[in-house]
Amino acid sequence: MAKRRTRIDIISDILTSIQNKGGRIKPTHLLYKANLSYQLLSEYLEELQEKDLVAEEMVGKKQTKKEILLTEKGYDFLDKYSQMRRFQESFGL
């Protein structure tokens, strides 16, 4: 039986998805990659923006398309989270 993702796992999935796309991603692509509903993704993105882990940028000729960018603080979070996961796994947890 599959385990449910924790809140921190979901946040990591969101940030990793952005990182894997070169630090910026369209919201629709992020929706699919993070495997979340629109409502849940919106709530997580709002929180991540408040904590300065991601930022929104309007792009395109008329500045009408939105992209989500990973901030420097977001990259730092992913680095520390990955260290924590490796530490946990080294003890078999």
In this prediction the pTM is 0.90
Residue 93 has pLDDT above 80, yes or no: no
| DSSP secondary structure letters along 20-61 | HTTSEE-HHHHHHHHT--HHHHHHHHHHHHHTTSEEEEEETT
Domains located in the chain, CATH noted: 7-90 (1.10.10.10)
pLDDT in tens, 10-35: 999 999 999 999 999 999 999 999 99
